[in-house]
Chain A
Amino acid sequence: MNVNVNVNDYLAVASIIFCIGALGVLIRKNLITIFLSLELMFNAANLGFVAVSEYLNLISGDIFVIFIMVVAAAEAAILLGIAIAFYREKGAISMDKANELKF
């Protein structure tokens, strides 16, 4: 076990992953890629929780992680349903096609 890795470093990595995910959501057009970016954001939070709860010798963070994973799975199911409905109506799952509702 590498004791030199500080909890700060874990949180820094988690923050970087979170920012990559957030950028992905904002920049990408494909619905599936957007969802992958959202998963990245969720998993950044998972990494943070696991690191902190290991560091503080607590268990509540680990419990939270399990709940997050379950919720992420549920959301995947919903997103795929919405993506299929969207594809049937517009013929693509690109955000560019989502242009009916405007300001």
Chain B
Amino acid sequence: MLDLAQIYNGYYFEKSLLSIMPEAVLIVFAFLILLAGLFNSPSKNSLNSYYLALIGIAFSFLYLFMLSDHTIKGFYGSIIFDKFDVFLFTAILLSGFLTILMSKNYFDTRSVLMPEYYSLVLFSVSAMMLLVASLNLIMIFLSIEFMSICAYILTGYLKGESRSTEAAMKYFVLGTFASAFLLFGAVFIYAATGHLSLYKIHNFIFKQNYKVHYAYNLHTFLAIGLILLLVGLAFKMSLFPFHAWTPDSYDGAPTPVTNLMATGIKIAAFGVFIRVFTSIYHFDVFNFYNILWILAILTMTFGNFAALLQTDLKRLIAYSSIAQAGYILIGVIAGGYYGISGTLFYLLAYVFMTAGAFAIIIMFENLNLTSVDIKSYSGLGYKYPLAGAAFSFFLLSLAGIPVTSGFMGKFFVFSAAIKSGYYWLVFIALLNSAFAAYYYIKIIVKMYMIDDEQPNIPNNYNNMAAAPTNGTGARASANGETGLVKEKAVPSALLIAVIICLIFTLILGIFPQPFISFASKSVTSLWSI
């Protein structure tokens, strides 16, 4: 390992640069991918950029672990690298890693060979990390926009597919609408406190330092600002009244991008929300806990009821992710050491179970290329026993059945809420998760129940069943010339993604101890916990 203290104190490296090293590495690799695109044929590039992207993620992990013991502030206190970042960076990088693993096969099957896709993924992952690391309203706005702009492009990536373009358009309009609210909230907070740095706003509110040299009512301004800021962030977290973009853009986007949005963007949004919440909303000046309380209940209930009515699997997962956002919000409301660390644990668990579910959806989607309708899943459990079992496991985890990571996540979050005295909130959340189990199990029932109607899976794909069954896995040999994965073999990258998700969903469910202690260590670096 490098002697970082030397670099840290030396004058060769600016502290600022060190504080964004994991993000900077990703940005460098994203540019490398764009540069490498100049020199080869598109098909070769697609493969090269795929490997470059994986190497970029690996290097970012490397820097993350090398720096993990340090707390570095950079850029005049607008960016921080601390323990909290280490945990969320890990989750975000894992989400990016799994997304890249899934993407290759998905786009190869559709003969979309565009190397810049991977650079966009890396850019948006680095933006998510910057968002979590930012301590300043300017940085928060910039990184939210950076992340969102990449996400808009990625959502509309399937050229010529009108659903994808429509999703990008809706996402763009609502996402920008949300950013405008965030900005206008920042104006009022700035007017009330005179600061843009979270730390200074925190101190200002802490001291109740309402000096009288202002001509206006500061208290009102602060309240307006905080509410508008909450609206802006709630859009990104897809909480109930602000969720409208979620199902549409999750549905229309290419499935790997949906995975990135459901895991990475959600983690980043919750990360920045926790930072803002613990520094600004924490004081409960305007009864924000009541507002969040109501938001959490509405989000859970609405998400679950809407998910019940869906026939499209991607939309169902989208609504269920809205419901999950409600559960995660409970952890933030519970607050304190246990609440926040439970939230972080839940977010990490959420990455693996959602990414696993999406990987299997891609696997099935590649079989008959168009449909993600639940009807087309009937009997799949018998045709592809291992894939069906894995999918059932992820769905059970999302439902929160014991032995899975989803159960442990819910357990930590709900028990923290009980410790803080939110009995009714936990009661409603428990009712909700019992209710949610219905539509998850509905899919499993569908998979293991062969209808009278013939499942519309082409016969010539039948031997794909062999690959997941025997487990040794017919390895996908990427054809160097065309970049197309050989048909009738389960692609190795997808298989790796599923296996990683399975292992971690199990480990997080059975031995959560190391992960929860990792989470609680990272919480200590937040203020006012």
What residues make up the interface of A, taking CB atoms closer than 8 Å to B?
6-8, 11, 14, 18, 21-22, 25, 31, 34, 38, 41-42, 44-45, 48-49, 52-53, 56, 58, 60-61, 63-64, 67-68, 71, 74-75, 78-79, 81-83, 85-86, 89-90, 98, 100-101, 103
Contacts and interface: CB of A to CB of B under 8 A. Distances in A.
B153 A103 contact: no
23 contacts: A11-B187, A11-B188, A14-B184, A18-B184, A34-B173, A41-B180, A44-B184, A45-B187, A60-B195, A71-B142, A78-B149, A81-B153, A82-B165, A82-B168, A82-B172, A85-B159, A86-B166, A98-B166, A98-B170, A100-B163, A100-B252, A101-B166, A101-B248
B351 interface: no
Given A58-B194, A101-B251, A38 B166 contact: no
A14 B186 CA distance: 13
Contact of A89 (B160, B190, B309): B160
B479 interface: no
B139 to A, nearest CB: 9
Contacts of B195: 60
Interface of B: 137-138, 141-142, 145, 149, 152-153, 156, 159-160, 162-163, 165-170, 172-173, 176-177, 180, 183-184, 186-188, 190-191, 194-196, 215-216, 247-248, 251-252, 306, 309
A-B CB proximity, top 10 nearest: A48-B187, A41-B180, A45-B183, A101-B248, A89-B162, A52-B191, A71-B145, A85-B165, A98-B166, A38-B176
A59 to B, nearest CB: 11
B230 to A, nearest CB: 16
B216 A49 contact: no
A31 B248 contact: no
Contacts of B183: 41-42, 45, 68
A89 B177 CA distance: 24
Contacts of A52: 187, 190-191
B165 A64 contact: no
Contact of A64 (B138, B149, B160): B138
